[in-house]
Structure 1
Amino acid sequence: MGKTVLDLIIHLIQHLFFCANCVWDYAQCRRAKFVPGYNLVGEGFDVVTLERKGAYLINVGAYMTPRGSCRLYRNPHQGNYLQKLPISVADWRPVTHCEVHLEDTVHSSARYSVTKHTITCSVGSIVPFTGRSEDAVGLHGQGQHRAHQNVLIFRFRAISAPRLSWEFRKDLERLPSYYNSSSEDEYRNIIDTYGTHYIRKVDLGGQIQRFTATRTCLSKLNGFASDKAHECLSLGFKVGLGILSLSAAHSSCSRFLENHGLSTLSHYHLHKHYTEVVGGHGWNGEFSLMNQDSQGFHKWLESLKDHPDVISYRLRPMYKLVPFRVQRDALKAATDQYLKENSITSSDRRPSCGYSSNHDWNCCPEQTGKGQLKVTLIGAWSLKGDWWGLTEGTSTIRSNNPQWNVEYNLGSVSVHLNFIHKSSN
């Protein structure tokens, strides 16, 4: 009797919360909605163009098993409504976890310093698992400042043998078994359609990315070197979203955040930004850097429960989904060739502007109005000084139109000095 009651309690807990092993009939499955973000896995991805292809390799629309049942789960973040899972996905669990941490890097050039601020709110993960082996693709970037705020609300894992999408399966059937010069175009068409990889795992939620370009030299002349400018932008980002308040201790950043230069006559702003918002709705990502302006941000956070999007992902090579070994090896060779043809090399060389007493390592001037002055004496025209003969303009050139083409390097001078122009009569 006691075991029967215990089994009933366990069954009720699974039914109310996780329902990990619950199966439902066709009518119930048809009425239920999919869990949020169910169709954000299995999509093709091109690692050369960093483009989501919009073509699916995995069938994420099938939810009925051969036995005529499906799995429904209660979503505590959407009123505990029952929601269904694709048959290629398993182990759904609701989780609530928040984490905040910062990561700072800056990329500077001779003209601009690029800062990237990111707030990430993760509201779930989908993990299409297609085997134990995995090839991770690392996509690394520079010039980033990231402020991550992760809120993990639910998690997915896929079954070990996912069902391929109808389109991908048909395209594989038409594809030649071997990769050579005669089949190269057909394999390239597959890559053009589906990419080189597919999205194996995604984190669902929302993300704000603000890319700020700072005029490196103009900011430095106004007393804000790259590190200081980056520090002020990070401060303004936190102030605007209500993470910090702008106190007297931060007064040195106020002038920079107001975006006006004072040390030069330049009318240019010190920095400009571009904002991207992923997931959620009702907010364009704009906010003040000078004061708390987080109302739109918090409304956007709340909307992520119903409207999540992909904020991060893990990739797996497309060829690993091909069921036949010969064709799988051929698609791998075609993918390797495509990646080789489009590979690029990066350079970490610093800018070089030659030796100059008024330039720092980043080719920015040390002070305003100072530079190298060179005067080139080209020639003269119409130096006729009398009415009866040629003018002797120099001791060596008997011409009314002498040509010298001589350059005089006067070295480092400042426009703030008082230049005196003297002419002889």
Structure 2
Amino acid sequence: MPAVHLKPGCFLFLYLFFQDALSICTIGNASECRDANVVPGARLAGLGYDMVTLQPKGASVIDVNTWHSANGSCTLCRNEHLGNARQRLPVSLVDWRTLSSCRRSLSSGLDHSAAELSRSATSDITNDWRADLILPPKPGTGANLVLAGSKSKLVEFGTTRSKSDRYSFASHQLQCLYYQFRVKAQPLLAPEFTRSLSRLPTALNDGTKYQYKKLVDTYGTHYLKSVELGGRYRSVTAIRTCEAASEGYSAEEVKDCLSLDAHVTLRLTAKSSAGYQKCKDIARAMKHNEVYQAFSDRETELRGGRVRQSTDLFFSGDSSAFTSWLESLSTHPGMGRYALEPLHHLLPNSDPRQANLRRYISDYIAGDALSLPCTRCPHGSYHHLHQPCSCLCRGESHVDRNCCSKGKGLGRLVVTVREGRDLRGDAFSKTDGYAVVKYGEAEARTSMISNNQHPQWNAELDLGEVKAESGHELTIEVWDQDAKRDDLLGTCQVPLTSGTHGETCFLKYGKVTYGYTFTCGPHLGGATCRDYMPSPAE
């Protein structure tokens, strides 16, 4: 292979290229610094953060207002997203750089319980927020203990709905990241926060606990150690899992249709795309034009950018609001992904108040913990291997894998044929009687009792899962078995209704008493099992 010789000019070009790439931030003089603006989103790095609500507090923990040294110089960083403008970096922040992570790409997911949804609430936290806090261990498969976000909007949205019915939660999210930086190891603390720390008593007891409570109420439990800034919009739609199944579609199909609706709004796909007609059918079945209108119970989270209040960026059918929001992110970024540190890490190890604050923060988070018992799986089902708070069925003709009825009118039919009285078949011999019960395609028969005008069958005939439909009736036939051809002694038909019923079938000669029980399938009710019945997760 021949040797490659580079001219001196090439080395100079490469040197200048890499030097420029690495010198995003440089030292500016006093005049340059006075004329520069602060980097976008710097104030967010100074805010306290509450792990219980998963919200930043309004009070600053880190000093992000000090940007200059004693001689007036400062760190100036080039912002590629704003025409390479040089902007001031507060002295407590380091490793500032621009990112290029923004595509019109929608991510989606489906959680099958409030317990699963609660785990996704902290998906943007990039480190172990527990650190050295004294917190309960993670529970086993029997329950889900929510520590982070136990009072967050998302968790409350999920738990409130799960108290009334079984829900799945479809999540749709779009995130753009433009900047990142971190707080240096020994940052300047905000003056008011420093004063609040100085007022903390050196002992933590019932008499002094109030001062620690005031601090956490004001500043939260953590501070933002590093941040990736930009914008994030997340929409979580509540879907009644078994109601959707009773209409003939799954929560997964609803989620996919919501994804399609959002893609149409964001102009990422056309209405003529594959699957659109299926989604239109679902919407029409729910008496709406679009699926997002039929499933409108949702919670949204917006970070960064500017947008009109209550604007739905994904499911409004208006792409202009989304475009406007996207364009505002470079100048008004919000929190994207972030790492957290507990507030007590800002105190020296030798200060007794560090251990006190650590203990109070731990007690505060643990005291607001939310226990979400896992759903007790019904007979014949089992817990999901990777999602232990969800139940699965093996999927049969009448129930799906989520243990929901696959359609309206479904139920189990059991007929009890008790006895016959005064049955007469052949003129010169006693009756060899048996009974046949039918509903739709389902059929069962009793045994034959020979030479008996008053047979006592007491036979329980399980017709299995049937569908109550207009035009179908429960039929009972009574027969006399003969060597050549069985004789039909009589037939009775009754409309099928849910519950337990006693019936008498009067024949030309004699009668038969019987009863039946029609038990509606999961989440179904009403006379013909066609009404949806909400039922909370147990």
Structure-2-length-normalised TM-score = 0.56
- Aligned ranges 1:10-409 → 2 under 5 Å: 10=16, 14=20, 18-25=23-30, 27-98=31-102, 100=105, 102=107, 104-108=109-113, 139=148, 149-247=174-272, 249-250=274-275, 251-257=277-283, 260=286, 269=294, 271-282=296-307, 284-287=311-314, 294-323=319-348, 324-350=350-376, 364-369=404-409, 373-374=498-499
Give the letter aligned to residue 338 of structure 1.
Answer: Y
SS of structure 1 residue aligned to 2:312: coil
The CA deviation at 1:148 is 5.5
Contact 1:282 1:300 in 2 (8 A): yes
- For 1:331 and 1:39, locate their aligned partners in 2 and report how far apart those are by CA, in whole Å: 24
- For 2:169 and 2:224, locate their aligned partners in 1 and report how far apart those are by CA, in whole Å: 23
Deviates more, 1:80-89 or 1:64-73: 64-73
Cα gap change, 1:166 to 1:248, in 2 (>3 Å): closer
SS of structure 2 residue aligned to 1:242: coil
1:400 matched to which residue of 2? none
The C-alpha deviation readout for 1:316-350, integer Å capped at 9, x for no partner, is: 11000013432211211222222232223232224
Contact 2:97 2:179 in 1 (8 A): yes
Contact 2:248 2:407 in 1 (8 A): no
Cα gap change, 1:108 to 1:254, in 2 (>3 Å): farther
Cα gap change, 1:344 to 1:11, in 2 (>3 Å): same
Contact 1:375 1:410 in 2 (8 A): yes
The C-alpha deviation readout for 1:155-187, integer Å capped at 9, x for no partner, is: 323322100111111111121112223322222
Contact 2:228 2:335 in 1 (8 A): yes
Cα gap change, 1:51 to 1:297, in 2 (>3 Å): closer
Cα gap change, 1:286 to 1:335, in 2 (>3 Å): closer
- For 1:247 and 1:12, locate their aligned partners in 2 and report how far apart those are by CA, in whole Å: 48
Contact 2:181 2:227 in 1 (8 A): no
- For 2:314 and 2:23, locate their aligned partners in 1 and report how far apart those are by CA, in whole Å: 39
Cα gap change, 1:257 to 1:29, in 2 (>3 Å): farther
The C-alpha deviation readout for 1:82-109, integer Å capped at 9, x for no partner, is: 2101000123223324465745232258
Structure-1-length-normalised TM-score = 0.69
SS of structure 2 residue aligned to 1:178: coil
Give the letter aligned to residue 156 of structure 1.
Answer: F
Give the letter aligned to residue 285 of structure 1.
Answer: D
In terms of Rg, which structure is larger? 2
**CA-based RMSD:** 4.6
- For 1:74 and 1:180, locate their aligned partners in 2 and report how far apart those are by CA, in whole Å: 50
- For 1:150 and 1:180, locate their aligned partners in 2 and report how far apart those are by CA, in whole Å: 44
- Stretches of structure 1 that go unaligned for 5 or more consecutive residues are 263-267, 378-407, 418-425
The CA deviation at 1:274 is 4.3
Contact 2:94 2:183 in 1 (8 A): yes
- Quick one: percent identity of the two aligned structures? 30
Contact 1:351 1:362 in 2 (8 A): no
Contact 1:62 1:87 in 2 (8 A): yes
SS of structure 2 residue aligned to 1:104: strand
Contact 1:219 1:261 in 2 (8 A): no
- Stretches of structure 2 that go unaligned for 5 or more consecutive residues are 1-7, 136-146, 150-154, 159-167, 382-396, 412-496, 503-514, 521-525, 530-538
Give the letter aligned to residue 343 of structure 1.
Answer: A
SS of structure 1 residue aligned to 2:28: coil
- For 1:160 and 1:54, locate their aligned partners in 2 and report how far apart those are by CA, in whole Å: 23
The CA deviation at 1:410 is 4.3
Cα gap change, 1:271 to 1:76, in 2 (>3 Å): closer
- For 2:284 and 2:297, locate their aligned partners in 1 and report how far apart those are by CA, in whole Å: 12
SS of structure 1 residue aligned to 2:42: coil
SS of structure 2 residue aligned to 1:203: strand
Cα gap change, 1:29 to 1:144, in 2 (>3 Å): farther
The C-alpha deviation readout for 1:174-203, integer Å capped at 9, x for no partner, is: 211122233222222222221111122222
Give the letter aligned to residue 353 of structure 2.
Answer: Q
Contact 2:68 2:91 in 1 (8 A): yes
Give the letter aligned to residue 368 of structure 2.
Answer: N
